[in-house]
Amino acid sequence: MDKTINPEHIAGNGLIHRRHLLGLGLAGIGTIAAGSVIAADTGMLSIPAWSKTPGNGPSDYGSPSAYAADVKRLAGGPSATAPGSGVSRTPLHLLRGTITPNSLHFERHHSGIPAIDPAQHRFVIHGLVRQPLSFSYEDLLAYPMVSQIYFLECSGNSGANTGATASDTNAAAIHGLLSCAEWTGVRLSTLLEQAGVTAAARWITATGADAASMGRSIPLSKALDDIIIALYQNGEPIRPEQGYPMRLFVPGWEGNVSVKWLTQIKVAEGPGHFRDETSKYTDLLPDGKSLQFTYPMGAKSVITSPSGQMQLLRQGIHEITGVAWSGHGSIRRVEVSADGGSSWADAHIEAGQQHLALARFRLPWQWSGAPAILQSRATDSSNNVQPARNIWMAGYSPANRYHYNGIQSWSVSTQGEVKNVYA
Amino acid sequence: MCMRKRSFLVLIAASLTAATLAAGSNAAEPPANPVALGSPLTEAQLRDWDLIVGPDGKNLPEGSGTAAQGQAVYQQKCAACHGASGEGAAGSPALTGGSVSATPPLLTVGSYWPHASTLFDYVRRAMPPTAPKSLTNTEVYQLTAYVLHLHGILAADFVLDKNSLPAVQMPNREGFIDVSANVSAN
């Protein structure tokens, strides 16, 4: 183990090309990680108790290991004034793939989760159509379906980082209104064609069957393009908190338009100007004007490990990993910096990343114990580049909290503490 | 009965599909709309069900109300959360006052919302949070008139109804830039 290997540092402060890890094997990693001391394990190995007695049998619905019980959503407290309203956030820093398990998909409700009996639920298409139609859940189950993996991000995700000071919180608290699942359902275009959209139609207005009857408007062109009425989430019937028995799913666009518990699509000449597309989810600009209907979510990435409130326990090699996504297409490139943006290296993006879905990126990093600022920067297939925080902030009123996609900075102290910072 | 009918329809759809494929069409593209379920209905059946009211006011119901009438309803059903004069409280937004250009901006119904129809639509479908859709159409007209009066948009005796509401001019009606045409679907 005397042999000295000089890894190819591809950017400042310890970023290493991934091929050096893949080709080196453990011995190589150990050498690169010189400086970290690994204590020898000199005791005899013994056979553990669980290898000596039969375990539990099968169950009708699985659950995580008791030792992984901390992998949970970050749920906010109940609202005192608006019953059922609130959010829970996906624990991005505790997940390592691209698919969000159904129990960990983020939630945003405006008046709680309705307990819908699918046999009594009705989905109506009306307005500017030749024949208004009412569909039962059973009706929709009989239609041809499509399955596609898509991310879903709340318009207010990461809004915490638009605040005046950086909050000392973790990746879930800041960025956890983001999830990714395989959604299966019926193309909305199929049903709109059956109802017969008339020539004057330009928009659809959609409402849910929750107590708030949450409503949103969507241009007809998008409705006829890739919107589905989702019935399944990662293969099982969608969860009540995701809109059981059916939700609109609008790929790439702010989560709020994917109306849950879908009960009404009214085809119209113009938007409905609902409360959640005028009072909320609009972007206040420096001059007091507001952008309305800013639907696609911007090119964005976040390092999920190491990330806020984590603690590096040793010097040496760490895998920097995170997720990237864009509502304008697929992710073409993710760059990582360990020196606050002075130098950048291309991260490895896992193969198989899909259009409008999360991409997983990885890059090895040799932490020497020096202070570091870790950042990631996404570029999408439409050549949108994730902006620095100060660039994004300059484009909006300081009060705007929606559609934030600035670069996340995590500082690493000499003690290995990882913190959310503005850099 | 219902199940039997459905199965029959699915069978028809399946045989149509098979026939289309056998006729030599592109097997990679499913035939258009091989299933046509759903029950026809009329707009008249949706009269009490369709709550959508846009700026054109087309779907506004019968009834009317004034701010003077709305004050008592507001005090009884709204003031506990939104304050005696719409000033808001912890967990509940202010309805009146404020400005988009203040530091920090205060975005209220009066200072921010571009259309009066949104207020009627939202109150009717979602307020009060503990009992949405419990207000009568008359009460919704009265409350809409009262909140707009609190911000000085309507006089206390202005009669709000399906004809007058779409003509109400909100202070920030020119404050929004519709960027929906810029959306990308690539």
Q: Where are the domains of chain B?
A: 2-38, 64-167
Tell me the two tokens of residue A305: 């490990």
The distance of A284 to chain B (nearest Cα, Å) reads: 8
Q: Is A190 in CB contact (< 8 Å) with chain B?
A: yes
Q: Is A207 in CB contact (< 8 Å) with chain B?
A: yes
CB pairs under 8 A between A and B: 178
Note whether A221 contacts B185, CB cutoff 8 Å. yes
The per-residue pLDDT for B1 is 35
Residues A216 and B183: their CA atoms lie apart, in Å, by 16
The per-residue pLDDT for A398 is 94
Q: Is A303 in CB contact (< 8 Å) with chain B?
A: no
The residue ranking higher by pLDDT, A91 or B183, is A91
| Averaged pLDDT, A11-24 | 79
What is the CATH number assigned to the segment(s) B64-167? 1.10.760.10
DSSP secondary structure string, B137-184?
Answer: HHHHHHHHHHHHHHTTSS-TT--EETTTGGG---TTTT-EEE-GGG--
Residue in chain A closest to B12 (alpha carbons) equals A142
Contacts of B13 in chain A (CB under 8 A): 142
Contacts of A291 in chain B (CB under 8 A): 176-177, 179
Contacts of B122 in chain A (CB under 8 A): 274-275, 279
Residues A179 and A233: their CA atoms lie apart, in Å, by 12
Alpha carbons within 13 A on the beta-carbon side of A120: 5
Name the burial class of residue A352, with classes exposed (0-12), middle (13-18) and buried (19+) by CB atoms within 10 angstroms of its CB.
exposed
Note whether A288 contacts B175, CB cutoff 8 Å. yes
pLDDT bracket for residue A101 (50, 70, 90): very high
| Averaged pLDDT, A352-370 | 96
Residue B6 predicted with pLDDT over 50: no
The per-residue pLDDT for B145 is 98
Note whether A271 contacts B180, CB cutoff 8 Å. yes
Tell me the average pLDDT of chain A.
94
Q: Which of B32, B46, B104 sits opposite A124 (nearest CB)?
A: B46
Q: Which of B37, B49, B176 sits opposite A139 (nearest CB)?
A: B37
pLDDT bracket for residue B35 (50, 70, 90): confident
Tell me the average pLDDT of chain B.
86
The distance of B175 to chain A (nearest Cα, Å) reads: 5
Residue in chain A closest to B177 (alpha carbons) equals A291
| Averaged pLDDT, A317-335 | 98
pLDDT bracket for residue B69 (50, 70, 90): very high
Residue in chain A closest to B126 (alpha carbons) equals A212
The H or E element that residue A220 is part of is helix A220-223
Residue A347 predicted with pLDDT over 90: yes
Note whether B118 contacts A225, CB cutoff 8 Å. no
Quick check: A3 and A31 in contact, CB under 8 A? yes
Domains and CATH numbers, chain A: 107-281 (3.90.420.10), 300-421 (2.60.40.650)
If contacts are CB pairs under 8 Å, which of residues 42-101 in chain A contact chain B? Answer: 79-83, 85
Note whether A207 contacts B126, CB cutoff 8 Å. no
Position of tokens 């484009």? A395
Note whether A144 contacts B109, CB cutoff 8 Å. no
pLDDT tens for residues B85-125? 999 998 899 999 999 999 899 999 999 999 999 999 999 99
The distance of B46 to chain A (nearest Cα, Å) reads: 9
Q: Is A351 in CB contact (< 8 Å) with chain B?
A: no
Distances (CA, A) of A423 to A145, A217, A275, A318: 46, 37, 35, 22
Q: Which of B51, B177, B185 sits opposite A289 (nearest CB)?
A: B177
Quick check: A257 and A218 in contact, CB under 8 A? yes
The per-residue pLDDT for A9 is 87
Residues A379 and A324: their CA atoms lie apart, in Å, by 9
Residue B18 predicted with pLDDT over 80: no
pLDDT bracket for residue A8 (50, 70, 90): confident
Q: Which of B37, B81, B183 sits opposite A81 (nearest CB)?
A: B81
The per-residue pLDDT for A104 is 98
Residue A31 predicted with pLDDT over 50: no
Q: Which of A111, A205, A213 sits opposite B129 (nearest CB)?
A: A111
Residue in chain A closest to B50 (alpha carbons) equals A264
Peptide bond preceding B93: is omega within 30 degrees of 0, i.e. cis?
A: no
Note whether B176 contacts A85, CB cutoff 8 Å. no
Residues B21 and B32: their CA atoms lie apart, in Å, by 12
The distance of B158 to chain A (nearest Cα, Å) reads: 23
Alpha carbons within 13 A on the beta-carbon side of B90: 2
Contacts of B32 in chain A (CB under 8 A): 193
Q: Which of B40, B121, B129 sits opposite A82 (nearest CB)?
A: B129
Nearest to B167 by CA among B16, B60, B78: B60
pLDDT bracket for residue A277 (50, 70, 90): very high
pLDDT tens for residues A251-263? 999 999 999 999 9
Q: Is A330 in CB contact (< 8 Å) with chain B?
A: no
Region of A25 (left: φ > 0; alpha: ψ -120 to 50; beta: rest) is left
The per-residue pLDDT for B186 is 41
Contacts of B175 in chain A (CB under 8 A): 288-290
Note whether A132 contacts B122, CB cutoff 8 Å. no
Helix (H, G, I), strand (E, B) or coil at A59: coil
pLDDT tens for residues A367-400? 999 999 999 999 999 999 999 999 999 999 999 9
pLDDT bracket for residue B28 (50, 70, 90): low
Residue in chain A closest to B121 (alpha carbons) equals A274
Position of tokens 């970023």? A15
pLDDT tens for residues A172-223? 999 999 999 999 999 999 999 999 999 999 999 999 999 999 999 999 999 9
**% of chain A exceeding 90 in pLDDT:** 89
